[in-house]
Structure 1
């Protein structure tokens, strides 16, 4: 029996601004090459037109990616390889889980949501990320749950910096559980700060992306920005602050309850975590899982979920996460 070949289609796309077309194609047509490889299509450039040839469904998706990327450029935004990879994973729209009730939110990727910081503008790249950022502005308590590389912490810190420089909060407080993952704290050299700081380094890295070095150091010295282990939060009331608890899957049930009840007047709190990377001792319940079970029915608490499709690091990271997810389901 002879296998039937899928129908071949050719679509011609016209882009009137040749300068934007150059950016759309990428250096040495790298963006076009990525689309060709991912969707198994052929793209030929003729003047200000791109001809896309291949399977009907793939041609339609390639055209959608190209049109959405061009619309970004027309809006004054950039198109880097990461944006092309994101559009290839999602197409022109993506359904993301955004509300506490798990409602499906369909958002066009081309629609811009930007976070302004002192050093740069930050733009969520996927629909789930956009729903997450929107929930951070709309809710006093929000959860971001999903695998590594999906921007949960990075976007939360960006929103915190934006709200701080806009005068909406008086300070930023970033925290993490100092849970050992194969290496004992006591074995590390130095005093307690020296031992704890490596656990907090991802939070410092995010802040350095959004604030000039001297200003960041001054704000930390003035306690306008605090970065501290979760254990240091006990007994405090966090008022007029933007508070982030990162790696919350490593908080115990009692620690999570303690942290959540620190929320004070005029504050916003964000809890981020990855349920697949729990480093607590065997038999110890994760406070993140308990919070998810207990709090989903409470109004004004947002639960936002991410998948491997929302990974914005190297494309291999998404493939690695998908491989582990498939193994867990086997």
Structure 2
């Protein structure tokens, strides 16, 4: 909490209906902002009075104005939007990157929702997905690597930039053998693919998604099923790439065809390969980082957008790894 002499700043909002939405149900949005900055916010008619130390007061003022502008554009304001405003304000990029980050808001339009990056690292990642034919997203769980990649894929599909989406994961056996799982091969493999289905369900209506999968406009398949294919005019995502072997990674990367985009996501700390078997993701980082047209984007615990405890857990493990 910032210390210093307490002052009052008064913000006036012309549309009282939007001000109600800004405050949130039972003023929960104001309570959230108060908890993050240490200020006290009082509502007086169509005004908000902000009491607190000058630095904290300025931060709260900036966030409130940004959220009100969002409401003026016809958008909603919730906890995730407040979280994004604070993250973007707190994690300013270096001077040589300012032009990229201030050139306008990065948004991903899908059939069901508008997706907006919530950290600067996410913003840079989404920008690279649109700008590069091959992009890597590397970092811990909960940083939005796969979610944002699938959102961009859906956007490119519905705008006609690609003809299909192909989502893949290595079906690595982590404690339970595939052969012992019930059902046919699809039944055995689908549990590994479920996070990809979950992301798609966030962006496409159920009936439309079902039809696209039935017509193979959208394919979800294990990495092993990619062998021998040339993936043209497609948006291709390889998720959990840390569990691909070197040969599998090479096989997958060389599937890239004309008019396609490819995204590789992974977490170096969650390798489930047998002991002694190198990860294809690590080899790809080492071999490809100098090639123009291939981007590498990295995330840390600060970019986790799940429950706040997830970020704390990741940071604790990262600190322990540094010690050992």
Query: When the two structures are superposed, what TM-score results if normalisation uses the length of structure 1?
Result: 0.89
Equivalent residue for 2:30? 32
Equivalent residue for 1:256? 249
5 Å matches for 1:88-107?
Answer: 88-91=86-89, 94-95=92-93, 104=97
1:325 to 1:152, Cα distance in 2 relative to 1, 3 A? same
Equivalent residue for 1:11? 9
Matches of 1:109 and 1:329 in 2, distance apart? 34
Segment of structure 1 superposing worse, 313-322 or 76-85 = 313-322
Matches of 1:20 and 1:71 in 2, distance apart? 10
Would the aligned equivalents of 1:94 and 1:107 in 2 still touch at CA under 8 Å?
A: no
2:120 aligned with 1:127: yes
Matches of 1:145 and 1:203 in 2, distance apart? 17
Shift of residue 243, structure 1, vs aligned partner: 0.4
Would the aligned equivalents of 2:143 and 2:304 in 1 still touch at CA under 8 Å?
A: yes
Equivalent residue for 1:99? none
Work out the number of aligned pairs and report it.
321
Matches of 1:291 and 1:49 in 2, distance apart? 55
What secondary structure is seen at the aligned counterpart in 1 of 2:270? coil
Matches of 1:108 and 1:175 in 2, distance apart? 30
Would the aligned equivalents of 1:158 and 1:210 in 2 still touch at CA under 8 Å?
A: yes
Equivalent residue for 2:59? 61
What secondary structure is seen at the aligned counterpart in 1 of 2:256? coil
Task: Find the partner of 2:225 among 229, 232, 235.
Answer: 232
5 Å matches for 1:168-317?
Answer: 168-317=161-310
Query: When the two structures are superposed, what TM-score results if normalisation uses the length of structure 2?
Result: 0.91
Shift of residue 29, structure 1, vs aligned partner: 0.8
Segment of structure 1 superposing worse, 108-117 or 286-295 = 108-117
1:327 to 1:125, Cα distance in 2 relative to 1, 3 A? same
- Deviation string 1:280-330 (CA, Å, 9 cap, x unpaired) is 222222211221122111111111222233222233322332333233334
Matches of 1:106 and 1:283 in 2, distance apart? 44
Matches of 1:327 and 1:10 in 2, distance apart? 43
Equivalent residue for 1:77? 75
1:128 to 1:174, Cα distance in 2 relative to 1, 3 A? same
1:92 to 1:14, Cα distance in 2 relative to 1, 3 A? farther
1:189 to 1:121, Cα distance in 2 relative to 1, 3 A? same
- Deviation string 1:135-164 (CA, Å, 9 cap, x unpaired) is 111111111112222221111111111211
Matches of 1:186 and 1:91 in 2, distance apart? 50
Matches of 1:105 and 1:259 in 2, distance apart? 34
Segment of structure 1 superposing worse, 20-29 or 104-113 = 104-113
Shift of residue 106, structure 1, vs aligned partner: 6.5
- Deviation string 1:214-266 (CA, Å, 9 cap, x unpaired) is 22222222222111111111111111111000111111111111111110111
Matches of 1:197 and 1:40 in 2, distance apart? 47
Would the aligned equivalents of 2:126 and 2:149 in 1 still touch at CA under 8 Å?
A: yes
Segment of structure 1 superposing worse, 7-16 or 232-241 = 7-16
Gaps of 5+ in 2: none
What secondary structure is seen at the aligned counterpart in 2 of 1:276? coil
Aligned-residue RMSD, C-alpha: 2.3
